[in-house]
Amino acid sequence: MVTIILGLIGLSLVVIVHEFGHFLVARAVGVDVEAFSVGWGPALLTHKGKKTEWRLGILPIGGYCKLKGEDGFRAAIEQKLDFIPADKGSFYAAHPLKRIAIALAGPFFNMVFAVLVFTFVVAIGTTIQTAPNKIVLSSETGATMQAGSPNPADMAGLQTGDILQSIDGRPIRDYSDLQEIIASNPGKTLSVQILRNGSIQHLTVTPRLDSNTGAGVIGVYPWIDPLVSSVKEQSPAAIADLRPGDKIISANGKPIRNTIDLMNSFKAANGPIELTIERNGQNISTTIIAKSLEETGISFVSITRTDKASSLPDAIAKGAKETLSTFTLTIKSIGLLFRGVNVFKAVSGPARITYLIGTAASEQIKVEGLAGLVPVLSFLAFLSVGLAIMNLLPLPVLDGGLILVFFIELARRRPLSAKTLYRYQFIGAAFVLVLFVIATMSDIFFFTGR
């Protein structure tokens, strides 16, 4: 229940910011706002203001801003009028430029919200747990991304143990940086500077598109030293008397260089595994019984990185930069939908988004208290940018579709007929219905494990 509530609050916040943008600009240009609702469905509470009725809907999902006469084309069709009625204070009575400003306001407020949130996040500082920028080829585990074809990392000549220092001139501090650049550049040839056995080398690698996620992948894992940081109580590792600070140096007699080697040892074993660990300069043998490395209850030493702005101007600059970066990444992601991405896995509907927000929030709060909400805020900022871009698409029903219509009206110097607008909106409604079905099916597959 906590997960659902937190998820609904997060998702609704982003939508309400969008609708509030429409509200403020509509009022500013003289268009009456008949109602502003937080939530959908029948109103639980209402308050009648001077010009606007404020509502609290029974369904706590987003909200809406109802402008006077915004559905006037329907009234025109019913009354068999050629053009939409333009009553004083109504949406279609306003000049096309004013209507464009109203339509743009929602996405604009989402972008401003993202800048403010990212600024707040970098001002407070974010801490992440990651791994070194040293890699292990996934092919060493027998994993390939495409049958009969080597992984991009193998094709590029990368080797296990390589340290990636920069990609396309961008310094790589850790594995998190590596993931970010690779994931956002599927199909693009990237120049890579590596450190191998003490010497610097330059290679090129082209990430392959993962059709399930829409991200670029090259087929590498992080090199994590098998140094124990913690052991879960009553786990197989605890029973085997493993302790924080222990270094696993062999499994069933095979040397262990990193956690991938250890994972492979569990995969190959048919029973208990004999471990040799180094503790306080001495080698100790123990036996552990587990089907996989994940079941052992062992956590390994990772890198803790904190990113924090040095001043308020620096925070604002970084917040704006992060928003622009997210905007660019989202545009790329939309383009990938037409390059063979599995939309039933890569596209999320409201149910999955609510679940992801709520799960992230509840888990972070359990670990860090209210400070755990900081990374969740970053996710909401990312979602806000996505909402802005989706609404700017030149499709009927969406803000971008309305903007396109109003620009056509400006060019023609006369409004479109009510029938034309009705047909245009009808096509948009059908398109949105298709998107809804796809998103719903995607959510169903996600929750059923498919």
Residue numbers annotated as active site: 19
How far is 93 from 87, CA to CA, in rounded Å?
6
Residue position matching structure tokens 């309400």: 16
CA distance linking residue 442 with residue 450, whole number of Å: 9
- The answer to whether the beta carbons of residues 417 and 425 sit under 8 Å apart is no
Q: Is 399 strand, coil or helix?
A: helix
Closest CA to 103 of 26, 181, 210: 26
Q: Angle, to 10 degrees, between the axis of helix 399-412 and the axis of helix 418-447?
A: 160
Return the amino acid letter for 30: G
Contact 51, 143 (CB under 8 A): no
How far apart CA 37 and CA 94 sit, in angstroms, is 23
Dmax (CA) for the chain in angstroms is 91
- 288 and 271 Cβ atoms separated by less than 8 Å: no
Cβ atoms 151, 194 nearer than 8 A: no
Q: What is the dihedral of CA 151, 131, 212, 360, to 10 degrees?
A: 180
